[in-house]
Structure 1
């Protein structure tokens, strides 16, 4: 766990209008290649909580259907792209993974070479705590269809609103974080172009990073050809200094309208999943989109994660 001195090094002034941070974290765990299949993650098999047109399969089925596989250096997670579905039958087979380990104050770096793309897809890389949403959710990488931008979002209990002005480069989509409001939109921040979907993939992917403390939660992104990505992120070094990462794309500070220590009062699991349609994918109409997902399995040949590494620093 971080030292008291390290916690003191993260300061938020004037409810996030000026944000000073300079924390060094050491690698606590990493997930590379076969690590994803050797007990570090569990396979979620309950009905999709987001009402997606999906069936999350167990590890044996995922392996048999080639929905997950790994080398020493790369992990692939994908959906079925061969089966035509009946409108009255179950959804498209896919995978949702949950880390066994949980993390609180930390920095998480996702080195992602390819993300799922295609009409109807809804891929996400996120964290959440027990008794959702009362211990919070952090969406680090999320989007739908073939949109061109990532969105970073918090979902919380009923008492969290972000200030309208804060130290970040992204565009505010919503400041109300409460899951019970606005159809559970959460308080989202839109990233720049080419941070999601086909353009992200064509550029070779990149790095998403998230720092969580009791004072702020921040998310960064660097494309694969970035000239500003720091060596600790790019090379997967054994420690990272978030003070060198520059202004985050999304910055969620604690304030008089959101006590992050209370809203995120538990350790979080890491989630990686791919669903289809669901409550977030609202265009075109749900019927039309579900029909498309049912009838066009070949449209999802590029609906896969190619993960180089996930590294967690504490």
Structure 2
């Protein structure tokens, strides 16, 4: 009926509690209750009182556990183990029970302002899925494990945010915005290291908000726009040079027209204007008309 616990040298490490099946003890309660009732009908007052007290004694030890729920068993304040078996359970009445959930919890942190690696203020908020893995550590190694999780999430977000720049326009560094998978993985590792003292692990995490702070958002937007314009111009010029080079090679190979240095420069200039102009160019056709000189 009783299940022996697995003892642990560390009082803050979870072990299996010595508890009993509640269904077996429920049958015992029914038998004792029937004995008390029969004693009362037979006018055996002493036996009836003993039976009633025994019923109260047995009834005091019942408790129930749902799936993914645990109960830490204490004997006069001393941790004796944790019961994770679901259903109706029973333990000695003088032992106290502290229930806690081992289900997955989802939390979204408050938006905080952090300075990134380059000192730029950014706004960050994280979403974390966590759960209790060691009930003894969660109950006895920290004052309030739920509040502990919230504080450590904020601390981890600040640490990760200060390790990387928000963005890198030259795409040569790991950034918060451009390498989200790597940053999320490092955030999870950071949280696991911080929360393991409370017997808590992290299943998943990510950022729900990541942006420049409002005081520099406008300037950074203009900078991004300028970088985009420069990149577009660079691509446009490189393409135009390639097309001009191809046009000159084809004209030369097919002997369509003989170009001296001056005419070659003029053709290159005209083609570059046509290809790089932001507006539609209008062709101008020159028609040379011969004139006779008067004597």
Common fold, TM-score beyond 0.5? no
Q: Report which of the two has the higher share of helix.
A: 2
TM-score bucket of the superposed structures, by smaller chain: under 0.3
Higher relative contact order (CA 8 A, sep 6+): 1
How high is the TM-score relative to the length of structure 1?
0.19
Please say which structure displays the higher CA radius of gyration: 2
